[in-house]
Amino acid sequence: MKFAVLALVGLAAAVKVEKEVDASPKYYTPFDHEATYYERVTTPRFSADSDDIFMRSMIENYALEERNKVNEHDDGTKTGGEPSGKFWMNQAATLAAAKEVLGTHKGLAGQELAAYVQTYFGKAWGHFDVNQTGFVEVIKMPQLMRFLCSDQYMSLGESG
């Protein structure tokens, strides 16, 4: 969880230009759940203790939840901006999660962790962000982490 703080680093508020600038971010962060305007709801597929605890951790602690498009109506009212239930990881959030995974699953810490991340993280990120959008679907995180760790059989906490 302490690495989740790093997920905020690099999260820029995207703006949308139409009639006027909508300065609200396109994504809710895991930290927005502390505010009164947002409640993060974990995807039902990953919400039970018998489900994939790795994916639940990614959604609850690192992922960005896409907001529905904000629409301005002719009468001046706006609708939209609600949580969409679609979860994404940006590079900063993925790096924070990767450091936790490398620490817990490969036993890396300190300079060893820093050197490993410096050497391999960019390649792993680029392998999954092939269109260079800056975002990868959260559902791809198990594959990305296994790729980063060079261990395709590594157990990340899935049950069953």
Distance between CA atoms of 102 and 140, rounded to whole angstroms? 17
- Measured CA to CA in angstroms, residue 22 lies from 37, 57, 99 at distances of 17, 30, 34
Domains of the chain: total: 1
Structure tokens at 44: 């039902």
pLDDT, tens digit (0-9, with 9 covering 90-100), for 69-87: 877 777 777 777 788 889 9
Query: What's this model's pTM, rounded to 2 decimal places?
Result: 0.72
Distance between CA atoms of 34 and 141, rounded to whole angstroms? 25
Q: How confident is the model at residue 95 (pLDDT cuts 50, 70, 90)?
A: very high
66 vs 41, more confident:
66
Mean pLDDT of the chain: 79
- Measured CA to CA in angstroms, residue 126 lies from 12, 60, 123, 150, 160 at distances of 20, 24, 5, 15, 31
pLDDT, tens digit (0-9, with 9 covering 90-100), for 6-65: 343 344 333 333 444 455 568 777 777 666 666 767 776 676 666 678 888 898 899 988
Range of the domain at 138: 4-149
Mean pLDDT of 96-112: 96
- Tell me what pLDDT residue 35 has: 64
Whether 155 maps to a domain, the answer reads no
- Tell me what pLDDT residue 115 has: 97
